[in-house]
Amino acid sequence: MFAKQLTVFIENRAGRLSEVLSVLKESGVNILSLSLADTTEFGLLRLIVDDAAKGKERLTEKGFSSLLSDVSIIQITHKVGSLQELLKAIDANGVNIEYMYGLSIESEQAYVVLKASDINKLMEILEANNIRTLSNQDLSEI
């Protein structure tokens, strides 16, 4: 079974990601997972949302370049080695993995991994807004 992924091409400049997410928010489209890869000039935002067609339509109306593509969302056990076992089976059949990213939907909480240009400033902002962050120690206890 396939799922639809929404991919958005955005300029690599401050505020542009927020503009995309604002369009989705105003449209009532919920983000379940995302991945952002960048180059010096543009970013490639990949999203799993609850209504990909609606998200694409609204983004197009607002002037964003986007596309829908088929992806597989695969459930694996949350234990050491389970991802590698899946990849081993895929590799044995000659299929190349173009990219992958995590998706967590069975919890009340959502987590994102952020890499910022100024990590210290980012931490100040998060602390000032009482936003919880996870350390490697926290992750090892989950």
Range of the domain at 106: 3-75+102-140
Q: What is the pTM of this model?
A: 0.79
Q: What phi, psi does 2 have (nearest 5°)?
A: -100, 160
pLDDT given at position 115: 63
- Ranges of the chain with pLDDT below 50: none
pLDDT given at position 111: 67
pLDDT given at position 125: 85
Contacts of 32 (CB under 8 A, 6+ apart): 48, 49, 50, 103, 105
What CATH number corresponds to the domain at position 38? 3.30.2130.10
Domain count, the chain: 1
pLDDT given at position 9: 96
Instruction: Extract the tokens encoding 121.
Output: 């400033």
